[in-house]
Structure 1
């Protein structure tokens, strides 16, 4: 019976080592996959997946003020870019509605621009059926 006890211990240690090794291999594999997914896009890839809006002038929420804006929108893939190019009226409407919702004071400074980019990205995400909006950048910005 003692030999069977030692054999059971050896098998138990082997099973535990296998489970730990398998878990470690899975964890390392997941980290490697995440690192590949987060690889920054090249300039060519960004150009292929981006669209620029027209320069748009719209009133702001504060009376007597208006903004002149243009955005660069990075999309998740070529299909989403093709959809965005077909939905220019909806993209333009989303830009106008988003910008018009801000008061002049809210758009002053870096925080205001960041907030504008984030809100426009969220609104555009509702427009597209395929893919996602990866980021929105303000490329032209004037307020009066």
Structure 2
């Protein structure tokens, strides 16, 4: 009866080892699939769910001209979106302060506008405690 027990124990060890190996393999595959999902771009529906509209602001530029401008700010989560919505007065303050130091030539071309969007992204990001800013989009602008 001793030989039967040894055979049974060794068979169980082999089976358990095989099961553990399969589980480890499955875990590796699942983790790799999750990593691929993180790298894919979000759909437009996902972007809109975590974005905040900054309504049109009219303010003076440095040289006395006026600008009307509005934005859409993309965050990384719904929690960050809610925080940014509560910080709307701070967001508007940053925008107005930055624009008061600029003149028409500071927003003349695409490159200048991209720099301005990036500057706002950094400054809005410094406000955030529950998430981060992904992108700032100028949705309309008019200088007069």
Q: Give the TM-score, by structure 2 length.
A: 0.73
Secondary structure of the residue that 1:105 maps to in structure 2? helix
Secondary structure of the residue that 1:51 maps to in structure 2? strand
Distance 1:35 1:103, change over 3 A: farther
Partner residue, 1:92? 92
Deviations 1:91-127 (A, max 9, x none): 1111212222222111101111111101110110111
Which stretches in structure 2 are left out of the alignment for 5+ residues?
1-27
Partner residue, 1:102? 102
Partner residue, 1:38? 39
Q: CA separation in 2, counterparts of 1:30 and 1:113? A: 39
Cα-Cα RMSD? 2.1
Aligned pairs, how many?
117
* Displacement over 6 Å in runs of 4+: 29-32
| 1:35 positional shift | 3.7
Secondary structure of the residue that 1:121 maps to in structure 2? helix
Which stretches in structure 1 are left out of the alignment for 5+ residues?
1-25
The yes-or-no answer on 1:114 pairing with 2:114 is: yes
Deviations 1:4-38 (A, max 9, x none): xxxxxxxxxxxxxxxxxxxxxx9xx9986654322
Bigger CA radius of gyration: 2
Deviations 1:69-104 (A, max 9, x none): 100000010111111111111111112122222221
Give matches, 1:1-144, under 5 Å.
Answer: 35-61=36-62, 63-144=63-144
Q: Give the TM-score, by structure 1 length.
A: 0.73
